[in-house]
Structure 1
Amino acid sequence: MTLISILIPCFNEEENIRNCHARVAAVLDGLKDVEAEIIFTDNHSTDLTFAILREIAEEDPRVRVFRFSRNVGYQNSVMFAYKAARGDCAIQLDSDLQDPPELIPKMLDLWRQGNQVVYGIRRSLPDGPVVAALRRAFYWFIDRVSPDELPRNAGEFRLTDRVILDQIRRSEDRSPYMRGMISAMGFRQAGFDYDRAARVAGQSKFPFRAMLGLAVDGLVNHSLLPLRLASTVSLLAGLLTFLVLLGYLVGKLLFGQEWPPGFATLVVLLLMSMTLNAMFLGILGEYIGRIFLQTKNINAPIVEAALNAPGPVTPLRMEAAE
């Protein structure tokens, strides 16, 4: 009998969570020779999400719920769910139902054909034209600059085999970018096209600022381009400074050129130098900050309450209140 784990991160989704469970359960009930567990990770919701999950867990023994003591961010919440998964494979989808649970049988078919990772490729997006264009531009850019093969237009809707889950359990990344981490592991991966639906109810928990932060995580975690860009621009600036100095000396010593005081030029060059220094120190700070998070083990989820999940399930730090 095959055991599959359904991973559903949630935060303030009281309007969606029952419908999400009902649709997932309906799909699972229609599968033959399959057992399932449904793992909800509640990122310290401030609405009725956890209360509803408690009721669902009492009604459905397949449901396991982990509520964190604070909001640890979407990616850390997802990583915890992957580590807690006990199935032969795990399928991640969002609780807002933009990724249709009805596609789970298709993903299982592709998995049974020998693919260790099966991911959905967003053929269409419900976002506005500007946001959709920015998403696709980012996917193209990160694929171009990263040495890892990151699939374009692929989001969080994916299936991962047990061999991938075992690799994730060994990771202690405190600022993970899960889609990049899984893609970079290699193995046999396959994508399929689907149309992403609009949010059923509630408000998006991913405003532009959060998407920008995720883009920075993806770039910094999977490319050294920012550091190499800093080095390249510094070399070019140094070369330009040397050429200007050389021109000044040639004009002064060989042609007796009397240069004007050049106060404005000096100020502009100083400001440009300060701006470049500040920008590249910021880039270095992004990498150093991630090293700091890693060494201090900051952002490790602490479980405040666990439902239908007796005993330790993951090497992450856990303090279960229930």
Structure 2
Amino acid sequence: MIVLAIVVPCYNEEAVLPEMTKRLFSFLDDLAHRQLISEASRVYLVDDGSQDRTWSLIAQQVAIDSRVHGIKLSRNRGHQNALLAGLLHAEGDAVISIDADLQDDLNAIEQMVEEFNVGKDIVYGVRKQRDRDTRFKRMTAEGYYRLLVMMGVEVVFNHADYRLLSRRAIEALRQFREVNLFLRAVIPLLGFSSSIVYYQRKERFAGESKYPLRKMLSLAWQGITSFSAVPLRMITVAGFMIFLGSLSITVWAIGIRLFSDQAVPGWASTVVPIYLMGGIQLLGIGVIGEYLAKTYMETKARPLFIIEQQIPDKNNEPMKDAHPPHS
């Protein structure tokens, strides 16, 4: 039987955390009773710098059940970094990441374990449909995935961060050192055998979404500029198209000047170059600046997260960073 680890990033989840752990352990007990997973399976709750009672509730769960491990980041580092902290510190033959809001169907875990047992290193949890979303949410979410694919970013359509990773996949993930983290595109780069498990996403049990439209747009831009050079190439294409347009307007302006009396002296030679060249230069500088900013952040090599406290702390090491030195 495999030892399963479940990683749950938590940010201001005091309203949902007690119910989440209750349901999660009830489900794990059922799997262990049916001998699908080992009774030594664990749950890792990662507090991403919460401002409510999330950490104290995690500490209570650790005191109640020895299978719970708490990881407290020193400050809020964002969902992706908190998730990575849990993945890199979790022990077990396979690690499943799941959100704390109880929207991901726990029954998919059993299917993921079955796929792992037949040799899959990565199992993606993918939503069957988005009938519970508003029309705007559905259009923007599906448009988000299509945009990433169009820009050359390899992602699994309608997959967020509900997935199983084998120990081999986790160790391969440990080798990635990038600061601009976008796990939905990093995981496919691992290249191991994978499969998909479909599930029906539920309503959030309590609290509010930690991914409003602003953060979703930010995450989309992060994915594009971290994994695709297409925007840079689009500058070249746009520049060429504008050059052709400018050339056409120039020919038109010359024709008006030579074959009619409607030409306005100085208009074409002044307005057309200013607007066209000014626009393409600003666009180019903006996109290039975004990539330079990311290069700047990567060269700093700052840790993605700093762990302030772990409970239970087997190694008695209260502070660990995301980038330990290579041996």
TM-score normalized with structure 2 length? 0.88
Of 204, 208, 223, 1:203 maps to 208
Partner of 1:73: 78
Partner of 1:120: 125
Give the % identical residues. Answer: 27
Partner of 2:239: 234
Deviations 1:165-196 (A, max 9, x none): 01111111111110111012222111122110
Distance in 2 (alpha carbons) for counterparts of 1:62 and 1:266: 73
Of 288, 310, 313, 1:306 maps to 310
Is the 8 Å Cα contact of residues 119 and 154 (structure 1) preserved in structure 2? Answer: yes
Distance in 1 (alpha carbons) for counterparts of 2:201 and 2:139: 15
Of 59, 64, 79, 1:59 maps to 64
Structure 2 unmatched runs, 5+? none
1:143 is the counterpart of 2:158: no
Partner of 1:214: 219
Is the 8 Å Cα contact of residues 62 and 312 (structure 2) preserved in structure 1? Answer: yes
Distance in 2 (alpha carbons) for counterparts of 1:302 and 1:192: 33
Q: Helix, strand or coil for the counterpart of 2:195?
A: strand
Of 169, 174, 194, 2:174 maps to 169
Partner of 1:274: 278
Of 260, 264, 275, 1:260 maps to 264
Q: Structure 1 pair 299/184, CA: closer, same or farther in 2 (3 Å)?
A: same
Structure 1 unmatched runs, 5+? none
Greater CA drift, 192-201 or 213-222: 213-222
Residue identity matched to 1:307: I
Distance in 2 (alpha carbons) for counterparts of 1:265 and 1:78: 56
Residue identity matched to 1:12: N
Deviations 1:189-225 (A, max 9, x none): 1112211001000011111000001111122222221
Distance in 1 (alpha carbons) for counterparts of 2:161 and 2:200: 14
Aligned-residue offset at 1:287:
1.6
Is the 8 Å Cα contact of residues 304 and 321 (structure 2) preserved in structure 1? Answer: no
Partner of 2:138: 132
Is the 8 Å Cα contact of residues 99 and 196 (structure 1) preserved in structure 2? Answer: yes
Partner of 1:2: 2
Aligned-residue offset at 1:250:
7.2
Is the 8 Å Cα contact of residues 8 and 39 (structure 1) preserved in structure 2? Answer: yes
Deviations 1:265-297 (A, max 9, x none): 844652443333223322222222221221113
Q: Helix, strand or coil for the counterpart of 1:100?
A: coil
Deviations 1:136-172 (A, max 9, x none): 1222232233263x22111211101111101111111
Is the 8 Å Cα contact of residues 65 and 309 (structure 1) preserved in structure 2? Answer: no
Distance in 1 (alpha carbons) for counterparts of 2:26 and 2:227: 38
Deviations 1:283-321 (A, max 9, x none): 222222221221113462111222113336976259xxx
Distance in 2 (alpha carbons) for counterparts of 1:144 and 1:251: 41
Is the 8 Å Cα contact of residues 42 and 69 (structure 2) preserved in structure 1? Answer: yes
Residue identity matched to 1:143: V
**Aligned pairs, number:** 316
Partner of 1:155: 160
Q: Helix, strand or coil for the counterpart of 2:221?
A: helix
Aligned-residue offset at 1:58:
1.2
Is the 8 Å Cα contact of residues 169 and 315 (structure 1) preserved in structure 2? Answer: no
Distance in 2 (alpha carbons) for counterparts of 1:257 and 1:246: 16
Q: Helix, strand or coil for the counterpart of 1:303?
A: strand
Residue identity matched to 2:150: R
Aligned-residue offset at 1:100:
2.1
Q: Structure 1 pair 16/265, CA: closer, same or farther in 2 (3 Å)?
A: farther
Aligned-residue offset at 1:257:
7.6
Distance in 2 (alpha carbons) for counterparts of 1:89 and 1:236: 50
Give me the CA root mean square deviation.
2.5
Q: Helix, strand or coil for the counterpart of 1:124?
A: coil
1:287 is the counterpart of 2:291: yes
Aligned-residue offset at 1:246:
5.2
